[in-house]
Structure formats: C-alpha cells, structure tokens
Amino acid sequence: MELASGQILCQRFRIDRLIGQGGMGSVYLGHDPVLDREVAIKQLRLAYLDGEQPPEQLRRQFQREAQILANLHHPNLPRVTDFFEHDGLYYLVMDYIAGTTLQDVLRQQRGGLDPNRVLAWADQLLSALEYIHAHNFIHRDIKPANIRLTAEDRVFLVDFGLVKKQDLYDSKTLTLIHAVGTLEYAPPEQYDPAGHTDQRSDLYALGATLYHLLSDQAPTTVSRRITEPEAFQPLRHYKADLSPEIEQVINRSMELSPEKRFATAADMRAALQRARQRAQSGELATHNLAEQPFPRMPGAPPSAPTRRVPRRAVLAGATALGAMLIVIASLAGRSAGIGVTNEPTSTVAAASVTQTTASVETPTTGTATVTLTSTLEITPATSTSAPRTAATSVARPPSGNPQAPTLKPTKIPPGQANQPTPRPTNDKGGNSNNSNSGGGKSK
C-alpha cells in the first residue's frame, strides 16, 4: 500500500514523499515533529512476512529485532529510532541519510569508478559489517542501491528490510522475511528458503557490489554462473589497470562455495587493505617468494640485465685464471732470481688484480652472479744473507744491459756442503760483508 504525501502515521510521523521502493518494501522521507528532524520510514510488505507464524508471535519477533537494531551504533550505519505497526503493516523509523545512492553514482559515471575511491568505501562497509556480524545480525541485501553516499564521501549501509537475526546455536536462523534479495548480488545459499545464510553471505553480496562499482557491469547471477561458467568475466577484463591482488580478493569473496570465501568481514577487510597498500606502492604481489625480486638499496639505480653464462664457461674461466696466476708467479720468481744468493737483493714491488664476473643459471636457485678476484703482490725484499744451501745463483749483467740474467752453478768446496753458514760480520768501515765459502766478498 503506497502512502500519500502528508499522511500521518502512528499519530506522529508525517509522510513527505517516496524516496525508494524495492521488492520487499518502500522507503519514505518523513518528518518527526517531536524531535523536529527528517527521518526515513521503512514499510515492510506483507507478502514477504513469514505467514507461518501467528500474528502475535510475528509482532513480538519484529519488536525484538527492532529493539536490537535500535541499539546498533556505528558511523556507517543509520540508527533505528522507532518502530510501530499500522493497519497491519510494520514500519521502521531510521535516520535519514542525505546524499545519493551508489547506484545513482554508477549511472552518472560510466565505465567504472576510481578503484582508490571504491576501496575506501569498501573499508567503511566492511567495518560496518564487522560490527553488525559481531551482534549476530546479517544484512542479506547489500547492493549499490542500498549504499548511500554523503557529500563528505562517507557511505552508509541502509535498508535493513531483509536483516536477519542469526542464532549461533541453530542452523535455522531466525528471520521475519523470506526473500532472495537482488539476484545479481545474492549468494547461492540465499536462493533456497531452507538454505542457511551467515556472515559469509554478506561478504558475497559486498564482493558483487564492488565488482559492479569497478567494472560498471552487473555481476553474473549465480544460476547462470552454474549453468554457464564462462559467462562470468574476470574483473580485469573490464578494468585492465586494476591490481591483480585486488581482483583476487574480490573473486574470493564471490566464491560460490561459502567455505572458499573469507570467514569474516575482518579477514576480507585486512586482505583488501594489504592489496591496496601494495597497489599504491607499486609492489609486486606474489605468493611465491622465489619469484619476488631481490630488494635494492635505497636510491640505488635499477640493475642492468645480467647476461647468463653457462656453468661450463665459468669453470673454464676459473681454470684459465688459475693457470694465468701460475704463469705470473713463475715470471715474478724469475725476475726476483731463482734460488738464494748470499748478497742482499731488492725486488720491485708489483701488483696484479684480475677480476672475472659471470652468471650461472641453476635449476634450484635461478641465476646467480659469480665474481672471481685474484691479487698478486710482490713486495720489496730486505737485505738479508742467503743460506749456503742454494744450488744456483744469479749472475746479473752489467748496468744498462737489457739482457736477462743468466744462471751459473755455484761451486761448494768439498766437505762444506753440510756445514752451517757463518753469520755475517761488519768490518770497521761499517760495510756489511756476506761471507762466501772462503770469506771473500761477493762481486
């Protein structure tokens, strides 16, 4: 029964105009002269009331649920301030939320809404669902038309016409109204009057609502998803720039099986917050740590792509490097003199640094960069006397002759091969004398 403008209900509330109408009732803008404020008056239709219950039991149950709703206080929920029965119909009086519905926003902005804005609304709505679920209530009719947006970009979950009190100890949850809700947003368990709906049913409806807001496409109904699975298009089919992780969160909330959805509104809210933070920071989201890029130092430039070199090439390079070090050591030894002489010698310090870098690709760790560095340093020798056990000595060419030094045998007198070498003594002039078998000076 449609109410006329100016009609007075319950000897108090004046009806101004119709502001919304749905399958299970109508919503009117009214005025409360006692508190002198605008109110929203929700009228519930008889066709959706549970006719199997006696009228008196139905009245008591409606009163009990209205009282519980009146005690709900959340920044994203309108308050229920009164309830009454008039001419066999039941009414809820709620705060009037000035603004527009998200359904109207969709009509005005084609092509889907800004993801950052939608996710900010989702966070508010999930906070409201977390609150009402903690009080054992289920909304059961979440959709863009039942979400009002204020000028401050604050959203309110309205229209509690299908709200259901959940009995945690009985799978047959108490309800005043048997209705499916809106097909595009209703989960499969809500289609069956004997089905058991719980807080995961609201998460499905919210996921379907987010899908619609982002894609500008109403979600595929459950019945069609079952008979034609290919009819359900991925969200990024319509919103290619959407973060894959955000899409995964919404897809999980819309799973046909309740067991595969998020268990609570708090879980879904936390998942969306993480996905949103990663999308804003540009972080690559992946479940496999092995596929994540290694972190770079702050301010470091991006790493240049590394050329992959087979393992055999690295081993061959290491072998060649080892051989080169042996040759360098041999040449250094020749330049310093082979064997030990009995005169002080001084060698020129020299250093050689060789570095080889290669990348190795292994089946377990991926690509790794290997750097081989070798350093050879010859330091100046100090003036010391050499032991007499040397088999050879070096005869140096005259100064200015670039000819390489030649080797000549050193004769050791018989009987002195195994004698200890006497320590050098200084003469009166302070010159250092290195004793050579017969005590003569080295020439």
Q: Which residues are annotated as catalytic?
A: 141
Distance of CA 64 to the CA centre of its chain: 44
Q: What φ, ψ does residue 237 adopt, rounded to 5°?
A: -65, -35
| Whether 354 contacts 324, CB under 8 Å | yes
Bridge partner list, 44 = 25, 90
Crossing angle of helices 265-281 and 115-134, in 10° steps, is 160
Report residue 213 as tokens: 């807001």
Helix (H, G, I), strand (E, B) or coil at 169: coil
- In 3D, which of 27, 24, 23, 22 has the Cα closest to residue 3? 27
d(CA 396, CA 393): 10
Q: Furthest-apart CA pair in the chain: how many Å? A: 141
Reported for 118-122, long-range contacts at CB under 8 A and 24+ positions apart, including other chains, are: 118/210, 118/213, 118/214, 119/246, 119/272, 119/276, 120/153, 121/147, 121/149, 121/153, 121/155, 121/213, 122/206, 122/210, 122/269, 122/272
d(CA 397, CA 406): 8
d(CA 294, CA 368): 12
